[in-house]
Amino acid sequence: MSKKREKKAGKRMTKKELAQKLIDFFHSRPNESMGLKHIFSELQLTTHPLKMLCVDLLREFKEDDFITEVETNTFRLVQHGTFMTGIFHRKSNGKNSFTPDEGGDPIFVAERNSAQAMNNDRAKTAFYAKQRNWEAEGEVVEIPERANETFVGTLEVTKAYAFLVTENRTLANDIFIPKDKLKGGKSGDKAIVEVVEWPARAKNPIGRVIDILGKAGNNTTEMHAILAEFGLPYIYPAGVEKAAEQISEVISEEDMVGREDFRKVTTFTIDPKDAKDFDDALSIRNLKDDLWEVGVHIADVTHYVKEGSVIDKEAEKRATSVYLVDRTIPMLPERLSNFICSLRPNEEKLTYSVIFDITKKGVVKDFRITRTIIRSDRRFTYEEAQNIIETKMGDHTKEILTLNTIAQALRQKRFASGAINFDRYEVRFDIDKKGKPVGVYFKESKEANKLIEEFMLLANKSVAEKIGKVPKNKKPKVFPYRIHDLPDPEKLDNLAQFIARFGYKIRTSGTKTDVSKSINHLLDDIQGKREENLIETVSIRAMQKATYSVHNIGHYGLAFDYYTHFTSPIRRFPDMMVHRLLTSYLAGGRSVSATKYEEMCDHSSSMEQIAANAEHASIKYKQVEFMSDRIGKVYDGVISGVTEWGLYVEINENKCEGMIPIRDLDDDYYEFDEKNYRLLGRRKKRSYSLGDPITIRIARTNLEKKQLDFALA
């Protein structure tokens, strides 16, 4: 051995460094038995202390069942039950992970052991035994199924080669694109690229351009890029549009058979001012004294969209309409969503209705589910209806005020039963013709919104009860429910600890109603306080997500034992499923396959979450765009998130959220105290806690990454 090499090999090494070298060494030779001398030689352990440290570590690894001693001083990796199949998750920082199919915690997979697995690929992984104080680790040995992932980014084209520079946080390397696979793309174009191969020794995956979205920075290009990033469609297939064009809007005599006629009953819609797809309308008439007939009329989408048709298949795949900041990507073609099915004023429309006989105190005396024909007398915006409620003047005043009285009684009863009152405002942007945000406003839920909400909840609950509530000895038929599980006990405890610092308390045990009433009490107490939005956010995080399932467990947040989605078939596929099954079951039809419908429910739940993520990304993009003209300005804010990499801060004035990177807090070395939601300075003990007021300056904006960086002012 040369003097130079001997000197390098003999340098001091910590126990941790040598342990990592040994772990990597055994991982790289999973099927070999290796003697002590061979290990010393391969790891270049030339000094006596290093050899002794190695022997100690081998003894520890043997006790931990990580290695076995096949004969004296000869060792081999333990491989019992080591192979698992599951989903691989790639991170651009190289800290990849693997989630086994059989569940359990994700397993760390270092970049060197990731082969060429891409994000969400199905992978076969060798799982190495876990030693004391060492993270469990895996190595990808086979990729049985590619996720076929596409990536969105900006093209960089030179004379010799081209790359896609991705914004995707799951890919560390840019994608190499052969010049003949560019599809006419030029430098600065946003493009969607499919990875076609990743050769074993290549640093970069190789891809081909699937579509050019337009020039980076153009509003429509960026909105389409957000949709593509989440795997959502941004154009309608021509065949589906064509099929929609062939559907007649004319209502024939045949269409009227078996329908109740509500055309002469006072009926109207109340919707957001920019809505075009009117799913629901309300009718009202007095039956006698204090008994009112209220009709909840829902667009009869499944009358027009036949099961198994091209339109139906496309709707099932999309599962939901997607609402970005400046546009709606409808689940159904616009001819159906905005014209034929939309309950537009002064037009006859086919509807599926729940008709209630109800008192002003919200007591339902009777209800029926029936197909109907309506003619809406008036289209109200929420603002117009709110003005009538407040001034008691305007069109259909008596009807709107009566409906509002009933809705308030229904709402009161719901909260008395333990429903949770999350009443958050939403941030919205005023946008100019080019899509540029010019102002921010907050969308609040007022009485007019709550009026519609209560009748939709009542209709959804009544439909679910009609199918789900059966005599004790009878089995209910398969039906898609909207379910919401109890809060996670651990998250509830964390919430209790967090709010204690503001002087609040909640119950974390007791009956469902006890806990939900105590959460409502908290939400009432914080109203109008500086910490209101923050505590609401942390409270929502303690809740489970509502999903679709044929296995009914009730809806905790609404305090309903039976709940479904029936009232928005123009924009949600589960509502179309409910309409079809309801028709079949009310006519005496047999129960459907639970397995098939549970799969459809899972898909709808998953698409709903993806759509919500895309909506959030579009809001984030507009926030960054809005703030990019305000670099250097100073704002008051509140710490809205604390992580090991920095502080998230929400600006009080416009609710835009950005981050102060931990590297910019340079007056001390700050450590993340997860339990107390804070960063704590090691020397000066200064802390930055969730909910603290803070003054920031806009430091940097990065539209590509949808990133807003703040600095302490």
644 alpha carbon, distance to own chain's centre: 23
Asked if residue 1 has pLDDT above 60, the reply is no
pLDDT tens, position by position, 99-156 = 887 766 778 887 777 777 777 788 888 766 555 555 667 777 778 777 767 888 899 9
Q: What percent of the chain has pLDDT over 90?
A: 52
What's the 3-state SS for 282-351? EEEEEEECCEEEEEEEEECHHHHCCCCCHHHHHHHHHCECEEECCEEECCCCHHHHHHHCCCCCCCEEEE
Q: Say if CB 87 and CB 170 are below 8 A apart.
A: no
Residue 9 in this model has a pLDDT that exceeds 50: no
Is residue 204 within 8 Å of 174, Cβ to Cβ?
A: yes
More confident residue, 398 or 713: 398
Return the structure tokens found at 445: 């839920």
User: Are residues 421 and 411 in contact, defined by beta-carbon separation less than 8 angstroms?
Assistant: no
403 has pLDDT over 50: yes
Is the separation of the CB atoms in 467 and 480 below 8 Å?
Answer: no
Average the pLDDT over each of 1-15, 109-123, 266-280, 636-650 and give the range with the smallest value.
1-15
Q: What per-residue confidence (pLDDT) applies to 31?
A: 77
What is the predicted pLDDT for the residue at 7? Answer: 40
pLDDT at 68: 85
pLDDT band at 375 (very low <50, low <70, confident <90, very high): very high
For all residues of the chain together, what is the average pLDDT? 88
Confidence of residue 168 (pLDDT cuts 50, 70, 90): low
- Those residues whose C-beta lies under 8 Å from the C-beta of residue 88, and which sit 6 or more positions away, are 96, 97, 98, 109, 114, 117, 118, 119, 120, 121, 122, 123, 125, 140, 143
Please tell me the predicted confidence (pLDDT) of residue 112.
72
260 compared with 73, residue with greater pLDDT: 260
Highest mean pLDDT among 339-343, 430-434, 636-640, 665-669: 339-343
Question: What digits encode the pLDDT tens for the residues 599-616?
Answer: 999 999 999 999 999 999
Residue 667 has pLDDT above 80, yes or no: yes
Report the percentage of the chain scoring pLDDT > 70: 95
Average pLDDT of span 668-675: 86
Paired tokens of 645: 């990499």
Report pLDDT digits (tens) over 577-602. 999 999 999 999 999 999 999 999 99
pLDDT for 2: 43
Mean pLDDT on 53-65: 86
**What are the tens digits of pLDDT across the range 176-194?**
999 888 998 899 999 999 8
The contacts of residue 306 (CB under 8 Å, 6+ apart) are 312
Highest-pLDDT range among 258-267, 323-332, 622-631: 258-267
659 φ/ψ sector (left φ>0, alpha ψ -120 to 50, else beta) = beta
The mean pLDDT of 220-242, rounded to a whole number, is: 92
Q: What pLDDT is stored for residue 279 in this prediction? A: 95
Integer CA distances (angstroms), 543 to 410, 498, 689, in order:
23, 15, 22
pLDDT of the residue at 597: 97
pLDDT at 543: 86
Is residue 463 over pLDDT 90? yes
Q: 3-class SS at 72?
A: coil
Taking every pair of Cα atoms in the chain, the longest distance, rounded to a whole number of angstroms, is: 105
134 burial (CB, 10 Å; 0-12 / 13-18 / 19+) is middle
- Report yes or no: 614 and 219 within 8 Å, Cβ to Cβ: no
Angle at alpha carbon of residue 354, lines to 577 and 459, rounded to 5°: 70
Say whether pLDDT at 161 is over 80.
yes
| pLDDT score for 411 | 96
Separation of alpha carbons 192 and 447, rounded Å: 44
Q: Is the model's pLDDT at 484 over the cut of 80?
A: yes
Band the pLDDT of 440: cuts 50, 70, 90.
confident
**Mean pLDDT of the region 428-435:** 86
Q: For the CA atoms of the chain, what is the radius of gyration?
A: 30
pLDDT digits (tens, 9 = 90+) for 542-587: 888 999 999 999 999 999 999 999 999 999 999 999 999 999 999 9
